[in-house]
Amino acid sequence: MNLRYVTNSPYCRKVAIAARLLGLEKRIEMLNNETDFGDAVRSQNPLKKIPILITDDGQPIYDSSVIVLYLDNLSDGKGLYSKDAHQQARVMTNEALADGIMDALGPLSQGKKLFPAEQISAPRIAHQRSKIDKGLAALEGALSSSMKDAGAIAVASMLGYLDLRDKQPWREKHPNLAVWFFAFAATTPGFAETAPGKL
């Protein structure tokens, strides 16, 4: 399998952490291209977004959540998703929330690269900022220390990205989330291995 990625992408980090927790990282060839939005691999996603995984039989898979689920299914049920319907929905909702916060942060950080700063209006910034603040508030207390599921991976990747790109002091407002994040980072070797600049 090939994974097309860029170094600081939190969505790519999600996939990379999941692959490590599932013991699949050696089966994935990592293909980096930081600059070319039209490269041959990325172009297999019509949305031109990464990560994109190309399976051994050449099938392109995106987005990051679908890739994580695909890897989970390949891994003989080590299980980043609970089999219990309610618990699985909880895991996937945490993942969706973390992805949504990353999506909201995108126009505030990556957006500046893609579009001139003056095209990012103050109301748009406030709209995006509110999603980030409310999303973090919803996650406060939603995670337990032992969690290493797809939701936890996404939340940790998102918080790592906030620390990289956003200058807001989120830990003061969300102390339980801060404690959870510290424990996840300390007990998940794949987290340090996939830190910004390391992938």
Ligand X SMILES: N[C@@H](CCC(=O)N[C@@H](CS)C(=O)NCC(=O)O)C(=O)O
Asked if 195 and 10 touch (Cβ cutoff 8 Å), the reply is no
Write the single-letter amino acid at 121: S
Taking the complex as a whole, how short is the minimal distance between the CB of residue 63 and ligand X, in angstroms?
3
Q: How far is the CB of 50 from ligand X (least distance, A)?
A: 5
Closest approach, Cβ 99 to ligand X, in A, equals 5
- Judged by beta carbon, residue 11 or residue 181, the one nearer ligand X is 11
Q: Which is nearer to ligand X, 124 or 173 (CB)?
A: 124
CB nearest ligand X: which residue? 63
Nearest to 109 by CA among 163, 59, 145, 151: 163
* Eight-class DSSP state of 23: T
The helix/strand/coil state of 159 is helix
Q: Residue 66 is encoded by which pair of tokens?
A: 């679908």
First and final CA of the chain: distance in angstroms? 16
Radius of gyration of the chain from Cα atoms? Answer: 16
Of the pair 65, 128, the CB lying nearest ligand X is at: 65
Residues of this chain that bind ligand X (CB under 6 A): 9, 11, 48-51, 62-65, 99, 106
Of the pair 37, 182, the CB lying nearest ligand X is at: 37
Q: Provide the minimum distance between the beta carbon of 62 and ligand X in the complex, in angstroms, as a whole number.
A: 6
